[in-house]
Amino acid sequence: MCGITGYIGKREAYPIVIKGLQRLEYRGYDSAGLMLYNQDETSVFKTKGKVVDLEAIVSEENRHGNICIGHTRWATHGVPNDVNSHPHVSNSGDLTIIHNGIIENYDTIKNELVQRGYQFKSDTDTEVLVNLIEEVQIQEKCPIAKAVQLALNDVIGAYAIAVFDKKEPNKLVAAKLGSPLAIGIGENNEEFFIASDASPFIEYTKNAIYLQDEELAVIEKNTAVEVRKIHDDSSVEPEIHALKLNLAQIEKEGFDHFMLKEIYEQPKAIIDTYRGRLLPNEGIIRMAGVEEYIDRFKSANRIIIIACGTSWHAGLVAEYLFEDLARIPVEVEYASEFRYRNPIITEKDVVIAISQSGETADSLAAIKMAKEAGAYVFGVCNVVGSSIARESHSGAYTHAGPEIGVASTKAFTTQITLLTLIALKLGKEKGNLSNSDFHAYLQNMELIPAKLEKILAQNDLIKEIASGFSDTPSCLFLGRGYNFPVALEGALKLKEISYIHAEGYPAAEMKHGPIALIEDDYPVIVVAINKGHYEKVVSNIQEIKSRKGKIIAVVTEGDVTVKEMADYAIEIPEVDEALSPLLTTIPLQLLSYHVAVLRGCNVDQPRNLAKSVTVE
Ligand code: M6R
């Protein structure tokens, strides 16, 4: 939610920040803005809309200066308009701020500031924060860094901020609690970059500090980064990380959209997930994060899976995996419900938190609660060093690489890959899986990427099928067993990027209500592979057919029965039922992608959404 970036150094700052904002646009795209400092003056440009709209309002002659901070917004407080866009400037005009997060007690602070004569132009919590910092600076007669530190001790909420004070123009002050913030360190400390993730500065430096919660950094040109604790101003020795990210990973590389690129990356992403872990020749699965706590896993009364959105769907697949292969009872919880439900958590529970970004506010709060209740928490995250990864007792990264399209694709299949490895490992350790079954699974897992390539090769066919129902206002996705969560995920993918209303259901539930929707040509996408409850799904398809619905079926290669009934069929290679979600998901991703493109939707940046949801 919201991306922030900034530059201080010797180069023209504007192009660096504009490019950085484009890379961070996945975090929110309701509005964009920046502040440039040049010849003792600050200029602020901001507008409702995207970074391209921002570029259009900054004329060539205004694009100069060596200090710039910029923001791309996902609106929380105040509608998306020019005034509510960031940066925000203090009443004196000296201080400028960009902010990702929420100040929960902004209303109380605002009332106090209003009584002291402060005026506000916007409805945002951020304008309150910058004026609070100004008021502290005036009262304490202190430098900007001290004023930021003192002011932040008065606020409740989450933030990643950068503050610039015209009176101390060689520095930026950055601080973090809850929202991510990286600082890129240029050669000889001559220049510095700040950003919500490292993507805005990877072509300039590979050295970065990831601020930790409750830390504040004073970033001074030609000097160094000084990090301090917000609550007591004590000094912290920052850890400098060598970035592994490269430019190709964050560019489209010839694909029309990031989503399509990321769909196509799945064979490699899955290999990256299981590399070094899945060892069929040795007949083992190696996972340090599980092995370290193997007794907790083996003696668990139950596994509670906490996640949101697509990650929650991966959790539902894991429910089938853990119960089926390892015989451990599983509950899958929406993090937002779990954290407010007064749930029963015991020390015998293992909590698995699944999150691509590792920053989802509800998931983070839920695992903190579970930890306090004594549960052991295992994190499944993609973003290395993210809050959920750090907050978990142990965990494993999916290594999917950056996922920039707002719609999750490779994040989902790599989460399932990782969860399958854990379920197989526990199944073996607990003696629920025979040696031969375990070995067969290891070998079959290794075949998944090649099978996935065969599905991707059907892209043209899937595009043609998409054109057959892209104008529908509504449709259903059905699946059973392991493929019920796949149906849910298929429906989520379609609705979030094409704005077609879609629902996922267990196929057998259809006759308890949704069947009423079916009329001539109503599209129903059915996962009907030859494993699990194939015959029962065939009966469900029959029920749709007799009501003249349009059937788009995902079937196993060589299928005859369903193919004869379906209007369209997409074949996937033969696969174990437990591994099938890794394949059946792909046609549904491609169908949604093509439908959305045909409808002229912004596939990578669907309306009202943001990639990482750092507010509850
Ligand atoms: O980063 P997370 O996995 O915690 O995000 C959770 C959801 O916001 C996310 O999965 C969302 O539903 C997808 N981007 C939708 O495609």
- Write down the domain spans for the chain: 3-249, 457-616
* Catalytic residue numbers, as ranges: 2, 611
pLDDT reading at 368 higher than 90? yes
If you measure from the C-alpha of residue 192 to the centroid of ligand 1, how many angstroms do you get, rounded to a whole number?
A: 31
Look at ligand 1, atom 10, and give the residue with the nearest C-alpha. Answer: 310
pTM metric for this prediction: 0.88
Share of the chain above pLDDT 90, in %: 89
Q: pLDDT value at position 222?
A: 86
Q: pLDDT value at position 415?
A: 98
Q: pLDDT value at position 612?
A: 78
| Angle between the N-to-C axes of helices 410-429 and 266-274, in degrees from 0 to 180, rounded to the nearest 10 | 30
CA dihedral sign, ordered 137, 142, 145, 149: negative
Q: Is 526 in the pocket of ligand 1 (CB under 6 A)?
A: no
Residues in the chain, total: 616
Q: What is the mean pLDDT of residues 11-40?
A: 95
Q: Which two tokens stand for residue 256?
A: 């029309």
CA dihedral sign, ordered 17, 23, 26, 31: positive
- Helix, strand or coil, per DSSP, at residue 260: helix
Q: What is the mean pLDDT of residues 65-76?
A: 92
* C-alpha span between 175 and 128 (Å, rounded): 16
If you measure from the C-alpha of residue 100 to the centroid of ligand 1, how many angstroms do you get, rounded to a whole number?
A: 18
Q: What are the respective helix, strand and coil percentages of the chain, to the nearest 5?
A: 40, 25, 35
pLDDT reading at 77 higher than 80? no
Lowest pLDDT segment from 108-122, 242-256, 307-321? 242-256
Q: Give the model confidence (pLDDT) of 413-428 as tens digits.
A: 999 999 999 999 999 9
Instruction: Supply the CATH classification number for the domain 3-249.
Output: 3.60.20.10
Q: Is 408 in the pocket of ligand 1 (CB under 6 A)?
A: yes
pLDDT reading at 9 higher than 90? yes
Q: Which two tokens stand for residue 203?
A: 């072509």
Indicate the fold that domain 457-616 takes in CATH.
Answer: Rossmann fold (3.40.50)
Burial (Cβ within 10 Å: 0-12, 13-18, ≥19) of residue 590 = buried
Q: What is the mean pLDDT of residues 214-226?
A: 93
Q: Give the model confidence (pLDDT) of 508-524 as tens digits.
A: 999 899 999 999 999 99
CA dihedral sign, ordered 568, 573, 577, 581: negative
Q: Give the model confidence (pLDDT) of 483-496 as tens digits.
A: 999 999 999 999 99
Q: pLDDT value at position 616?
A: 75
- Tokens 């579970």, residue? 370
pLDDT reading at 529 higher than 90? yes
Look at ligand 1, atom 4, and give the residue with the nearest C-alpha. Answer: 355
Are 388 and 360 spatial neighbours (Cβ–Cβ below 8 Å)? yes
For residue 462, give Cα distances in angstroms to 97, 270, 455, 468, 558: 47, 22, 10, 10, 18
Q: What is the mean pLDDT of residues 436-444?
A: 97
Angle at 419 between CA 417 and CA 424, to 5 degrees: 95
CA dihedral sign, ordered 123, 124, 130, 135: positive
Q: Is 398 in the pocket of ligand 1 (CB under 6 A)?
A: no
Q: pLDDT value at position 80?
A: 81
Lowest pLDDT segment from 68-72, 80-84, 374-378? 80-84
- Helix, strand or coil, per DSSP, at residue 268: helix
* C-alpha span between 402 and 129 (Å, rounded): 32
Q: What is the mean pLDDT of residues 241-264?
A: 92
Q: What is the mean pLDDT of residues 367-377?
A: 95
- Helix, strand or coil, per DSSP, at residue 228: strand
Q: Which residues contact residue 244 at a Cβ distance below 8 angstroms, ignoring those fewer than 6 apart?
A: none
Average pLDDT over all residues of the chain: 95
Q: Is 109 in the pocket of ligand 1 (CB under 6 A)?
A: no
Q: Which two tokens stand for residue 446?
A: 């290794």
